[in-house]
Structures are given as C-alpha cells and as structure tokens.
Amino acid sequence: MLRITIGTNDFLLDGARFQIRGGEAQAARVPAEYWRDRLRMAKAMGLSTVCAYSYWNQVEFQPRKFDTGQFSVEKVATIGRWSEPMPQLGMVAT
C-alpha cells in the first residue's frame, strides 16, 4: 500500500517527493467500459490523482434503512473498481 506523508516543504509518496495534481470525475456518470480510458486521459493531462464522488444514496436508499430488495453489492463494489487501473497508470487513489 502506498503511503503519503508530509515532508518539510512537500508531500512524500513512499518517502519520495510527490506533487499532487488532481482532477475530478464522477464514476457514476461515466459508463464502466470507459473508466480506464478516462483515467488514461487524466494521466496524459499530467494529473497524478483523481477525486471521485461516491453517492451514498446508492448504498443507503432511505435514511438509516437499507432496502435489501434494492441494495446491490455490485453498486458498492463499483467504488473500488473505479480506482483499480490507477496504480497501473502510475496514479494514486486516495
């Protein structure tokens, strides 16, 4: 697992200087088959991180209630699948 720490004047990624250049994407608004391509384009733009929203209403459908008829482990697993290609592209998921 990668470790980000704060140095004297900069961020460190596993002890090496690291410049955070972040962008933002909404995985829920991009079809899954395009995720890797979108992350590849973000890397080509010089980004090292991508912030992605996770929509709580995909997990908790009513306040303090999980509707097991609608609840989908697949939807929750989507959050992790979005970031899977990042290490292969030399990016960091935080």
pLDDT digits (tens, 9 = 90+) for 50-92: 887 766 666 666 677 655 555 455 555 666 787 888 888 888 8
pLDDT digits (tens, 9 = 90+) for 9-33: 999 999 999 999 999 888 778 888 8
Q: Which residues contact 7 (CB under 8 A, 6 or more apart)?
A: 17
Where are the domains positioned within the chain? 21-89
Mean pLDDT of 38-55: 88
Q: State how far the Cα of 36 lies from the Cα of 2, in Å rounded to an integer.
A: 20
User: For residues 37 and 1, which has the higher predicted lDDT (pLDDT)?
Assistant: 37
- CA 34, distance to chain mean position in Å, is 14
- Residue 66: the pLDDT is 59
Read off the pTM: 0.70
